[in-house]
Chains A and B, each alone.
Chain A
Amino acid sequence: MEPITLTPPPAFGLTAQQLAWLTPYFFVLGGSCLALLLSVYEATKPSISVPATIILAFLGGIATTLPLIEQPPTLLFGGMLIADGFTAYANILFLISAAAVTFFSRRYLLNQDLEHTEFYTLIALSALGMMIMAASTDLVMIFLGLELMSISVYVLVGFRRNDRRSNEAGIKYYILGSAASAVMLYGAALFFGATGTTNVQVGAIRAIQMGMGQNALLIAGLLCILIGFLFKIASVPFHMWMPDVYEGAPAPVTGFMTTGLKAAVFITLLRVFSSMVSVPALSPQAMEAFQNVLWVSAALTMFLGNVAALQQTNIKRMLAYSSIAHSGYLLVGLLAGPQSHDGFSAVLFYVVIYTIMNLGAFAVVSAIAQKGDTGLELNDLSGLSAKHPGLAFLLAVFLFSMAGIPPTAGFTAKYYLFYSAIQAGQVWLVVLAVLCSAIGAYYYLRVIVQLYMREAIAGSPLQNWKPSRAAVTTALAAVILVLQLGIYPAPALKMLRLGPAEAPAGGAPAEAPGH
């Protein structure tokens, strides 16, 4: 069998189809550049033009991505990026998340005296990083996208620059994130050393061809890459940064991190992971070792995230632990994906739902947050339903959804995820997962108790304030989606279904000559 190489497309001579695939990227990039330019004029007196520009750019990106969903997969830039349905969905998800965050954060920033136009630009650039990352099949590209995303977010986390907590969160995230990136990069270097390529799919095929199932270099490299990802999704024991960072970051940024950022990392992980397992690149022992690592990691993550959340009194910090717990559930799906009939569809679906409900929840949290992100202690929320019944209702729905109670989307997603894990034979992991979600229900319900079952406490920071309309609109939209996907998820499931042929690894092996 002749060695497989990718047929490179004509350099910089992009076909119309490839150009179409790149349009959303141009939109976001152009939008952020334009916003930067505009902000020069508006540095002293910020107006609505910058966020509007950014949002328009996001919407443009979404609009140009939509027609691409049904397009056949295409390779871009010498196979460093892959454009397929999966990419399209991922991009839409990131853009929606970024747009929503932008939409509801303006009022928040105004309230906090943080109205700096860089905020929007950074969101846009971070979104661009996600889009690149999710489309990458090359480790270098993944690294680039990841860094673009992360560096923007480092800044965003420390955006309340006069606030010690925000600063601390920024610096912690920065140090740990960079270190993790370095580990991941080291893994990429080892991967390159073992396979002679930084392209994941090509590398996987080479690994088969050269019989590297037991190659220590390759395995060590993959482990390092995996650990880099585990850090980003905050899997135990790489989760420690997340609560601190979530708590310190401004509320909309936390929202952005738990939705866009997390989705991006998971989708990328899915792509890398599935490209390694959809072809048996590794020996059975190696696969088993990887699975065991993931098993333990998933179990620990679910358990620790849920139990630690029980102890929290700050809603942002609580949602951070909740986010860790959800990463654990997703790891269950990831682990089960290869053996399950539905492949990684369940994981993808879960990511989508998770993004929607967290967007909504953080929209509400951002709306509630008072100056300096105060008013987010649980006690401050007492009796919220009496003064703001609508807001309380929205938050309650999101919390029920996160707890996985029907008829919300959170239930459907969990259902699908655990169902596919059962198909993969992970019965005990699923048992553990459901027990953990029972524990988890407690802290979500605790918030609802505050909202509905307690009287307002005198002297709470939440005395006279009105929630922003943008936030409520965002949350309302999210609620509609959460209920719709909870009650009638069939269309969405059909849409997001990844048959075995459409594994997120993309069509690379099929594209490659010789197949």
Chain B
Amino acid sequence: MASSTSCLLSWLVFLPLLWALVGLCIPTNTASGLKLSKLSALIGSLVTFAVSICVYQQFDPASAQAQLAENHAWIPSLGVGYRLGIDGISLWLVLLTTFLTPIVILSSWESVEKKVKAYYALILALETAMLGTFLAMDAFLFYTFWEAMLIPMYFLVGIWGGKERIYAAMKLFLYTMAGSLLMLVAIFYLAYQYKLQTGLGYSMYLPDLYMVKIPSGGYLAPQSLLFLAFTIAFAIKVPLFPLHTWLPDAHVQAPTAGSVILAGVLLKMGGYGLIRFVLPLFPDAVRLYQTPMLVLGTVAITYGALIAWVQTDVKKLVAYSSVSHMGYVVLGIFALNPTGMTGAVYQMLCHGISTSGLFLLVGMIYDRRHTREMSDFGGISKVMPLFAIAFMIILLSSAALPGTNGFIGEFMILLGLWQTSQVLAAFAALGVILGAVYLLFMFQKVMLGPVTGDENKRLKDLSLREVAVLVPLLIAVFWMGFNPGFWFKKMQTSIDASLVPYSQSAVASSNAEKVGTPWNP
């Protein structure tokens, strides 16, 4: 690995945390102090965004290697290193994270009233954990960030959440943790195999682990078991049917900011993990389990969409829509071709934008009405026309209308999947219809029809702050919809690299190798 002397990535990762710690020192017993602490958090997140832009500028799209890499010994006796690096896939997820955080902070400006200081500190700490997860090039470091992320998320849901917040927070924590612990066991196994096979000692460095060869063949061969351990952990995060039931609870109960981060970034870690770990580590098992995974993804799409359709709680609807949309990501990844994979990564970004937008919008009316039941609303378009415009655009993005970002992702995923399995692609494409169904039903119930109730009649349209929160997202919707090349060009090399084990020649050579030198346990 080309180890650079720059520590830009470290700055990027730890800046929010440091900022959070500094922010905790601001006395907040006065109104101005309170405001200062909010402002400080906002500035902190904006500075982080600026740093991530610097990272973007220094990124070289031509190289598939981890860039801006940092490599320091950390726990040498266990082969653990402090290793950061960025490639074309994590670059965009990092930018998504740094992009969404200021928006999230701004969105909670007025809706969060208790323990303000701690709230913003937790959001910033969460940002650190998220960035760390995307940038870690070491399995231990990755896992550390991955699990550590749960702590701020747990508090965000548990303290600032809705009525059932404690149940939701617990479920979120335990569900995710249970899945990831199995992954931990698998990581151990891999690191140990590395040592056995190379005789070099332990290593948690990802490229080292990629070289480990694990016996495959059969649905319960070692490689398949490891695959399952990893995949279940990531599938829970995605969340892939049938491991999704934590999501509606967590989404509904979380405060707006929590839902946005959850949907916008956390779910992406599942997809990211699949690309970063599962694909390069277990090529044989991936091929073996390709069809089951594709089927699950397809089921997730239709299942999530159908259930979203009959929801009465807006937030729950959006939550189930996430299940549906993230099903596409799994399909794109397991289509195992560049088109699908590009689509999957793009879909992650798009979903990050559109679902965040939906949650923000739901949060905005929740702030006004303190209800999320669709039946409590009606004809909101009339009283909140600007809100209606924003809602419509985000909704279209979510429904994957051409010209918005969502279309590009779904189009490429389905096209990629079509090349792998036409039947499944046809089923998956049902999501295109169902997506429109549940979104339009929701839009009609909430926004259209006669204005019901006095409370609805008195609603105020978006404030300037709220417009400022939404406008970046709306711009992103169209920018990503019309100029996906801007995004593709930086991720292409990395995506191609991640699919190397699945190219035809690789299949042939790995078979040949297996025949030549059987792996001895």
Contacts and interface: CB of A to CB of B under 8 A. Distances in A.
Contact between A and B in the complex (any CB pair below 8 Å): yes
Contacts of B155: 452
Interface residues of B, number: 34
Q: For the side of the interface on A, what is the size category?
A: 20 to 34
A407 B185 contact: no
A436 B92 CA distance: 37
B326 to A, nearest CB: 23
Interface string B134-161: 0000001001110110110011001100
Contacts of B189: 422, 427
B490 interface: no
Contacts of A427: 185, 189
Given A441-B177, A452-B159, A494 B77 contact: yes
B75 A490 contact: yes
Interface in B47-80: 73-78
A447 to B, nearest CB: 12
Given A423-B192, A453-B159, A493 B144 contact: no
A405 interface: yes
B166 interface: yes
Contact of A453 (B144, B147, B158, B184): B158
> Which of B76, B178, B182, B185 has most A Cβ within 10 Å?
B185
B174 A453 contact: no
A488 interface: yes
A419 interface: yes
B188 interface: yes
B116 interface: no
B147 A419 contact: no
Nearest to B158: A453
B173 interface: yes
A422 B225 CA distance: 15
B158 A449 contact: yes
Contacts of A407: 144, 148
A430 B191 CA distance: 15
A427 B333 CA distance: 29
Contacts of B192: 419, 422-423
Contacts of A493: 75, 77-78
Given A430-B188, A449-B158, A453-B169, A442 B174 contact: yes
Interface stretch (A63-71, A273-281, A300-308, A410-418): A410-418
Interface in B77-106: 77-78
B401 interface: no
B185 A445 contact: no
B8 interface: no
Contacts of B145: 406
A415 B191 CA distance: 12
B307 interface: no
Interface of A: 342, 400, 405-407, 411, 415-416, 418-419, 422-423, 427, 430-431, 434-435, 437-438, 441-442, 445-446, 448-449, 452-454, 488-490, 493-494, 497
15 contacts: A406-B147, A407-B148, A411-B147, A415-B184, A416-B78, A418-B184, A418-B188, A419-B192, A422-B192, A430-B188, A431-B182, A437-B181, A446-B170, A448-B154, A490-B77
Given A422-B192, A454-B166, 18 more contacts: A406-B145, A406-B148, A418-B185, A419-B191, A419-B192, A422-B185, A422-B188, A427-B185, A427-B189, A431-B182, A431-B185, A434-B182, A434-B184, A435-B182, A441-B173, A441-B177, A449-B170, A489-B75
